[in-house]
Structure 1
Amino acid sequence: MPILLIFQLLLLFWEAFFGSLSSKDSPNSFQSESPNLVFILADQWRAQEMGYAGNSQILTPNLDSLASQSLIFENSIATLPVCAPWRASFLTGQYPLTHGIFYNDKPLPNEALTLGEIYQAAGYKTGYIGKWHLNGHQKGEDPFSGRDKPVPADRRQGFEYWKVREVTHNYNNSFYFDEKNEKHFWQGYDVFPQTDSAISFISKNKSKPFALVLSYGPPHDPYFSAPEQFKKLYGASKLQLRPNVPEEFQDSARKVLAGYYAHAAAIDHAVGKLLRSLDSLGVSDNTLVVFTSEHGDMLMSKGVLKKQRPWDESIKVPLLIRYPEKLGESSRRLRNPIGTPDLLPTILGLSGINIPVSVEGEDFSKELLAGEELSSEAALIMLPVPFHEWQFSNGGREYRGIRTARYTYVKDLQGPWLLYDNQTDPFQLRNLVNNPQYMGLQKELEAVLQAKLDERKDGFLPADDYMTQWHYLYDRTDSIRPVDYLSRNRFP
């Protein structure tokens, strides 16, 4: 273990139990009023599919109620919109090219300093329930082989209470491994027993500070496996689609959307039960509740499904933060963007815990506590290596970009690729890149993007360079490029 990491952990433990070296009133001192943390994570739930976001056809009454008491982040951006990279950036507060998880099923290094370890060092009881997706697989094994194996104790990154499976999307026949690596099955649709487990953890630890991550699998596909009572809520033929769904895909899009909504309604039902338990246990006021998702889902917008792509359906995710004791009980909307690496430092700031030097994201807690707008100009988005459903042969490409409160600007290895004014064109139907009328704006956004890349020391290299640097192998056919990879139409 590197000496710097050892020093950081020792310092965190010292401050948790003895106070800061510089002040006896350090917020890291163990105090009974230290806020609890309940972090609720969905998988592939895009920001647009919420009642509080203006969608009248999806039924999310419990999340809408939570939003009425929360900070609502209107531009919460998945820095790298795919599963494992998002999780690694959330838990470490680092960008993907720092922690090295820019590709699914690669192992997060043991040396990474994570949320679980930081809260544990600050005197918290820590727990993790549900999907993990950071243990990866060994070289030479099938790329998905690690998804059914237990995560070794030394790979759990500071989480003590443990009911986890690396990855599954079979929500009705789902198992997990406990602290002793013993295998158990969730009964029925796994969202519901996972929520019950979370409530049990909270009940047993309500007299001490606790930090819990509850990680659901849905509404990630398969889209048609939610319980029947929630499927019955939605008739596919009646659903309205986003205007950027091509006509030839609209029938299938409605069917997919109905199944997706059923999963979302089931999660909303579970979240309601969890929130009511916080009230009944008397810990709501001093509990920091966060609800978000790893990334979105195109859901046939622009004729495609799932994530990785730089469009809003893929990169924008819901983000709610409720903390009645310090943030009040009324809703407030924030328009400026927040990126994935910013979540950990902001949550630590709200918890009164010092932020380790390894964290690269921005701490926005002061603005939130002061009732101010975020000080961010833009959130970085990236895809160093396209893979799996958006591999090279399926149109995938390396990109870097920014999402501001108003604009999206993205370039690929050939140069500027996408430019949208999301205020006048919210469905991103008109690509303005290299349009002479917008060259001034494009140059401004290019300067902002380049400054962020310079700050990250990101040279924006081809995918193969990063795979070689991290000694990774492509999965199956992910590395195969079409012959016209660099010359095909770049402006869909």
Structure 2
Amino acid sequence: MPGNVIAQQKKKEKPNVIFVLTDQWRKQALGFKGEDPVQTPHLDEFASWAVSFDNATSCRPVSGPGRACLFTGKYSINNGVFANKVPLATDEESMGRVFKAAGYATAYIGKWHLNGMNDHVTDSVRRQGFDYFVQSMGHQPFFQGYYVQDDKERTYIKGWAPTYETQLGIEFIEKQKTSEQPFCLVLSYNPPHTGGGPGFEDRYQPGKYGPDKKLKMGYGYAGPAEYEALYKDIDYEKNPIRGNLKPIRRSSDTSARVIPGYFGAITAIDNDFGNLMTYLEQNDLLENTIIVFTSDHGESMGSQGLMTKGTWFEESMGVPCLVGWKGVIKPKREIVVFNSIDLMPTLLGLSGLSIPQGVDGVDYSPLLLGKKFKAPEYAFTSFDFGGVEELKAPRYWRAVYTSRYTYVLCGMNQNRAFTKDGLVLYDREKDPLQLNPIYKGMGYDKTIDRLHAELVKHLDETGDPFIKEYWNNPDAGYPKLNKVTMDPYSALRKSGANAKGGKSKGNRNKQLKK
């Protein structure tokens, strides 16, 4: 009974922290936002007493680098994780390590991707301070393999992986709820990311072809059947989910047939999130627990004729970001810019913990707590490589993001087709679907000049040679990579910004001093 639970619980000096992280969940896919026609009743309820950062962006819209930015609070050029195969350094003062050092019980359950790829056991020294550690393997959400703690034998679970992971999280909390020791739990769900294995036999990713030039089957979007059924009676060709959908580039495919799988996975996760929230409410844990819901990056799902991630468009770069602490944080739809590197220092600030030196992100806890706060005007994002096949798909670009504009510089790659002379501006206030690119001479020259100066300044401060090596030189060949670190710039700078002992530069907190 709840009354007995209250009697059993001991008052904690610090709040608990639950960080729910998804993969490839775009910012538009939340019911309360009224954009994508998707059902998320439990997240909608959470949003009714949380802050939603509606202009939250991924610092690096691809899984491994995006997660490294989230957990270190640093830009990729400062944390050293440039591509999916690169492990995060063992001496980083990342989120888990800071909470553990502060006396928290720490747990991480689900997709990791901070130790290169997810196909091997993560040694304890590489778990970044998380003591209880259950790591999922690959992208098979209906028959997921796990490495549990130090066991090198995989444990396979039949059924929807997020449900199993949520139950493990609840079991961890159950053991901690009567302790004076606060806890920090990360629940990292792999869906709605594309997947394979059982349940995906008839699935595909539009525009993705095999050597035989036929659609590559067996890998795509899927959720549990009962949740996909919510979306299967809609003709998405006649009723497009967004006004900027186009046939997938270099093919005649559209995203219409795969939308039920994507939305079905989202609604299924919403149900798992609801079960977690019900447990917290029934055990009177909401008032002493900070809860975060976000994603490492978004999903294009046919917008601009693109799929998955890796571009500067809102569907790819924008992420959901909800922060709640019942009775402490007042609900609001917040429009200030919020970068994924800001989440780590913000959680530390809310928890009353010191932020490590060298963190680039900004602590937004004063804003969340109703105190005087001037948010940064700019957020900076970047991209160099594709997903797993990093060497085959370089897509160099740098962008500066404000609450109104997205300004992009693009190097030698396929995405340069979206620009003129390697640059493009979008006025998202007048053109939220980003259908009308703006170039020099179209009435926005002062805005372009201002944002260009801010972006160049940021690149100079972080030691990023992108302008000289790639933007001013669109015919440059692929960089000579350091094949250990996948750092495309190691040969271009005398001492890397991310080198051991190097200072972190380009700190966003400088914007607050203006």
TM-score by length of 1: 0.83
Matching residue's letter, 2:146: Y
2:243 alignment partner in structure 1: 243
Asked whether 1:107 is paired with 2:105, we answer no
Q: 1:204 aligns with which of 170, 175, 193?
A: 175
Asked whether 1:409 is paired with 2:423, we answer no
1:7 alignment partner in structure 2: none
Q: Does the aligned pair in 2 maintain the 1:33–1:286 contact within 8 Å? A: no
Q: 2:395 aligns with which of 397, 400, 409?
A: 397
1:482 alignment partner in structure 2: none
Say which structure is richer in helix: 1
In 2 relative to 1, CA 435–48 (structure 1 residues): closer, same or farther, beyond 3 Å?
farther
Alignment gaps of 5+ in structure 2: 1-10, 196-219, 413-420, 471-476, 489-514
In 2 relative to 1, CA 251–472 (structure 1 residues): closer, same or farther, beyond 3 Å?
closer
Asked whether 1:180 is paired with 2:150, we answer yes
Asked whether 1:121 is paired with 2:101, we answer yes
Give per-residue Cα distances to partners, 1:66-125, cap 9 Å, x unaligned: 111100101100011000001111111111011111111211111111111100010100
Quote how far apart the aligned CAs of 1:465 are.
5.1
Quote how far apart the aligned CAs of 1:436 are.
3.8
2:416 alignment partner in structure 1: none
Structure 1 segments of 4 or more deviating over 6 A?
A: 248-251, 389-394
* Separation in 2, partners of 1:412, 1:349: 35
1:232 alignment partner in structure 2: 229
1:134 alignment partner in structure 2: 114
* Separation in 1, partners of 2:365, 2:487: 39
Q: 1:216 aligns with which of 180, 189, 199?
A: 189
1:485 alignment partner in structure 2: none
Asked whether 1:313 is paired with 2:283, we answer no
2:504 alignment partner in structure 1: none
Asked whether 1:68 is paired with 2:43, we answer no
* Separation in 2, partners of 1:392, 1:32: 49
1:22 alignment partner in structure 2: none
1:294 alignment partner in structure 2: 296
Q: Which moved more, 1:124-133 or 1:99-108?
A: 99-108
Give per-residue Cα distances to partners, 1:169-217, cap 9 Å, x unaligned: 1111101111232532233111101000111111111133000000001
* Separation in 1, partners of 2:172, 2:390: 40
Q: Does the aligned pair in 1 maintain the 2:83–2:387 contact within 8 Å? A: no
Asked whether 1:34 is paired with 2:14, we answer yes
Quote how far apart the aligned CAs of 1:382 are.
0.5
Q: Does the aligned pair in 1 maintain the 2:299–2:309 contact within 8 Å? A: yes
* Separation in 1, partners of 2:335, 2:297: 18
SS state at 1:174 partner: strand
Quote how far apart the aligned CAs of 1:453 are.
2.0
Asked whether 1:189 is paired with 2:160, we answer yes
In 2 relative to 1, CA 231–469 (structure 1 residues): closer, same or farther, beyond 3 Å?
closer
Quote how far apart the aligned CAs of 1:441 are.
1.1
Tell me how large the CA RMSD over aligned residues is. 2.4
Q: Which moved more, 1:422-431 or 1:460-469?
A: 460-469
Quote how far apart the aligned CAs of 1:56 are.
6.2
Quote how far apart the aligned CAs of 1:381 are.
0.9
* Separation in 1, partners of 2:411, 2:228: 43
Give per-residue Cα distances to partners, 1:149-176, cap 9 Å, x unaligned: 11111111110111113x4111111011
2:207 alignment partner in structure 1: none
* Separation in 2, partners of 1:244, 1:333: 24
Q: Does the aligned pair in 1 maintain the 2:83–2:390 contact within 8 Å? A: no
Q: Does the aligned pair in 2 maintain the 1:349–1:365 contact within 8 Å? A: yes
Quote how far apart the aligned CAs of 1:326 are.
2.4
Quote how far apart the aligned CAs of 1:53 are.
1.3
SS state at 2:118 partner: helix
1:386 alignment partner in structure 2: 385
1:326 alignment partner in structure 2: 328
**Identical-pair percentage:** 35
Q: Does the aligned pair in 1 maintain the 2:112–2:118 contact within 8 Å? A: no
Quote how far apart the aligned CAs of 1:304 are.
1.4
In 2 relative to 1, CA 62–418 (structure 1 residues): closer, same or farther, beyond 3 Å?
same
Matching residue's letter, 1:168: G
Matching residue's letter, 1:367: L
Aligned length: 431
